[in-house]
């Protein structure tokens, strides 16, 4: 009896003092969030548009894809990028082993994901999943977090879902609910391909009803919402605002710069993520002729941001500090 009380006190003490350090999960393992360095928070090295039914096993030769992709990664490494958040979900060409090979070769951090992508009317969702309850869907993602992806031992660093750019369908509500449940089990941040504000705010409502705070959500493709006050509103609620569509062009650069300035004006620059959504090796174009470089952010967008009054400290916040915080594994939940 005495021994067990002693043990209980010891264990309680250990629980109080054992602080779990903040961490981000890359394909090579865990790193501290402040070690991410300059980060591209939403890119793709590969996307296969064939649809869920035919996407696995891969339709491409991994080595051939690797040699097409590598020069594009070396190009951004030369520009100082240290971390690449790869947002291609399962059934759309997610390939953790390819990312690991790129990471080993370049020394850069690559982060992959778990989750299912419901946008494009569920083309990338296997038919049986459409009838599953949220708990069963979440169980897939939680298992990948605990056991690694498809026997590779590689752990996902965030949950990627996707919804249509309209009011949420019943199934998309289920996907969001599953993401909330998986967040509560894993502490992984939810990155949701969304677009307009209507589905973004519906998702925040569902998360809240599941006890999950807004900071667990990255509102992805927020640039597609033209009412910029919605960016501010969601950021003030705690959500991450991801402006992530830029393949070049002065007009587009100026527009995104204005969105960033608006967030700065409202003191929510600490909730902004900025990236390009570029790359996309396509197995149907194996010569890589369609591959969009990951460089316009540096060659065009940053100069436009500078011109609009976004300074180096702001850029450090947006491209280094914020991604580390957004992708830190941790439970963003309301106290019971
Ligand atoms: Zn994307």
Mean pLDDT by 10 residues, the chain (336 residues): 47 53 96 98 98 95 98 98 98 98 98 98 98 98 98 98 98 98 98 98 98 98 98 98 97 98 98 98 95 98 98 98 98 91
Buried residues in 177-193 as b, exposed as e (16+ CB within 10 A): bbbbbbbbebbbbbbbb
Whether 305 maps to a domain, the answer reads: yes
CA 325 to chain CA centroid, nearest Å? 12
Strand partners, 242: 273
pLDDT score of 336: 72
Cα 271 to middle of ligand 1, angstroms = 19
Whether 17 maps to a domain, the answer reads: no
Whether 28 maps to a domain, the answer reads: no
pLDDT score of 9: 46
Q: List the domain range (segments joined by +) for residue 236.
A: 41-326
pTM of the predicted structure, to 2 decimals = 0.94
pLDDT score of 10: 47
> What is the Cα–Cα distance from 321 to 327, expressed in whole angstroms?
10
pLDDT score of 21: 83
> What is the Cα–Cα distance from 132 to 116, expressed in whole angstroms?
12
CATH number at residue 183: 3.20.20.140
Cα 14 to middle of ligand 1, angstroms = 42
Collapsed DSSP state (helix, strand, coil) of residue 183: helix
Whether 182 maps to a domain, the answer reads: yes
Helices (H), the chain: 2-17, 62-78, 96-106, 134-147, 170-186, 197-209, 229-237, 250-265, 296, 302-307, 312-316, 322-326
- Omega within 30 of 0 (cis) for the link into 57: yes
Cα 117 to middle of ligand 1, angstroms = 11
Cα 279 to middle of ligand 1, angstroms = 9
Check if the beta carbon of residue 33 is closer than 8 Å to that of residue 269: no
State how many domains the chain has.
Answer: 1
Whether 89 maps to a domain, the answer reads: yes
Cα 18 to middle of ligand 1, angstroms = 37
Whether 30 maps to a domain, the answer reads: no
Whether 139 maps to a domain, the answer reads: yes
Cα 273 to middle of ligand 1, angstroms = 13
Cα 86 to middle of ligand 1, angstroms = 8
pLDDT score of 3: 46
Cα 244 to middle of ligand 1, angstroms = 8
Check if the beta carbon of residue 49 is closer than 8 Å to that of residue 181: no
pLDDT score of 2: 46
Whether 14 maps to a domain, the answer reads: no
């Amino acid at each position: 009896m005495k021994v067990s009380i002693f043990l209980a006190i010891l264990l309680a003490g250990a629980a109080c003092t054992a602080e779990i350090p903040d961490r981000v999960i890359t394909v090579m393992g865990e790193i501290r969030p402040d070690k991410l360095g300059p980060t591209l928070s939403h890119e793709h090295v590969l996307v296969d548009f064939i649809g869920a039914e035919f996407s696995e096993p891969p339709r491409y030769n991994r080595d051939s894809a690797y040699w097409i992709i590598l020069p594009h990664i070396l190009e951004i490494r030369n520009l100082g990028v240290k971390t690449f958040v790869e947002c291609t979900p399962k059934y759309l060409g997610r390939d953790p082993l390819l990312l690991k090979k790129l990471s080993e070769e370049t020394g850069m951090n690559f982060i992959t994901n778990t989750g299912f992508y419901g946008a494009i009317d569920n083309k990338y969702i296997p038919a049986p999943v459409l009838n599953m309850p949220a708990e069963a869907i979440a169980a897939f993602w939680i298992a990948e977090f605990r056991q690694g992806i498809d026997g590779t031992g590689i752990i996902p660093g965030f949950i990627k879902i996707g919804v249509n750019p309209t009011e949420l369908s019943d199934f998309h509500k289920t996907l969001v609910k599953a993401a909330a449940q998986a967040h509560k089990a894993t502490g992984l941040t939810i990155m949701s391909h969304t677009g307009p504000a209507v589905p973004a705010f519906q998702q925040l409502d569902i998360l809240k009803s599941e006890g999950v705070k807004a900071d667990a959500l990255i509102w992805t493709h927020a640039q597609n919402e033209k009412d910029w006050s919605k960016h501010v509103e969601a950021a003030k609620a705690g959500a991450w605002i991801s402006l992530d569509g830029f393949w070049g062009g002065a007009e587009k650069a100026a527009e995104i710069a204005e969105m960033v300035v608006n967030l700065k004006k409202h003191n929510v620059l600490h909730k902004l993520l900025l990236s390009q959504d570029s790359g996309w090796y396509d197995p149907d174009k194996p010569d890589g002729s369609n591959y969009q470089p990951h460089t316009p952010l540096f060659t065009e967008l940053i100069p436009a941001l500078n011109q609009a009054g976004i300074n180096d400290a702001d850029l450090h916040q947006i491209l280094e500090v914020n991604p580390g915080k957004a992708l830190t594994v941790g439970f963003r939940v309301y106290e019971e």
